[in-house]
Amino acid sequence: MTSVVNGLLDDWCNGWLGRAKHMPSPNYNCRPEGAVVNLLVIHNISLPPGQFGTPYIERLFQNNLSWDEHPYFKTIEGLEVSAHFLIKQDGELVQFVSCDDRAWHAGASSFCGKESCNDYSIGIELEGTDTAPYTDAQYLALVTLSRQLQTAFPEITTSRIKGHSDIAPGRKTDPGESFDWTRYLNALDV
């Protein structure tokens, strides 16, 4: 992040957004040399599935999840994943990986014929499921964050904001049918 544009970048330092709660994850690495960040990927997550307001997402992304704490956790034991951001149901914004680095959020993926979306994307997790409605606070936080990211990374145009399902079809379904793309994109364009 090199300059302040309309006051939107004054909160960034080395790829970290100052207004976000910082919970650094070990699950990241450097982007490939010359990689240009030009894709924003929207995900959803809840741990255990369908339960909100738990500390388990943060623990998973920081490799601190006790696999014995819930039967579902045994099915993901050893998983090492992260996202750049998490937006909780109440709109709280948590950052796990610097936007300058590659978070491990997309897995096997491609966009416009280019594989390995982690190399050139920012990943945002929404606390939720494919079928539960997202909250007003989440949409507000997502729109605000998306605008900041588009200012910081001008090649993330509206047409380059996609769901995990778009870059990993058949393998992923999030953010799911409950995500209101029209509401989000219309708010983003205001």
- Residue 56 one-letter amino acid: Y
Peptide bond into 154 cis (omega under 30): no
Which structure tokens are listed for 106?
A: 């997309």
φ and ψ at residue 181, rounded to 5 degrees: -60, -40
Residue 162, Cβ density class (10 Å: 0-12 exposed, 13-18 middle, ≥19 buried)? buried
The answer to whether residue 125 is catalytic is yes
In 3-139, DSSP assigns E strands to 12-13, 16-17, 21-22, 28-30, 39-45, 85-87, 93-95, 101-103, 110-111, 114-115, 121-127
Neighbouring CB atoms inside 10 A of 147's CB total 15
- The one catalytic residue in 125, 127, 155, 177 is 125
Half-sphere exposure of 95 toward its Cβ, with a 13 Å CA cutoff? 22
Measured in residues, the chain has a length of 190
Return the active site residues: 125
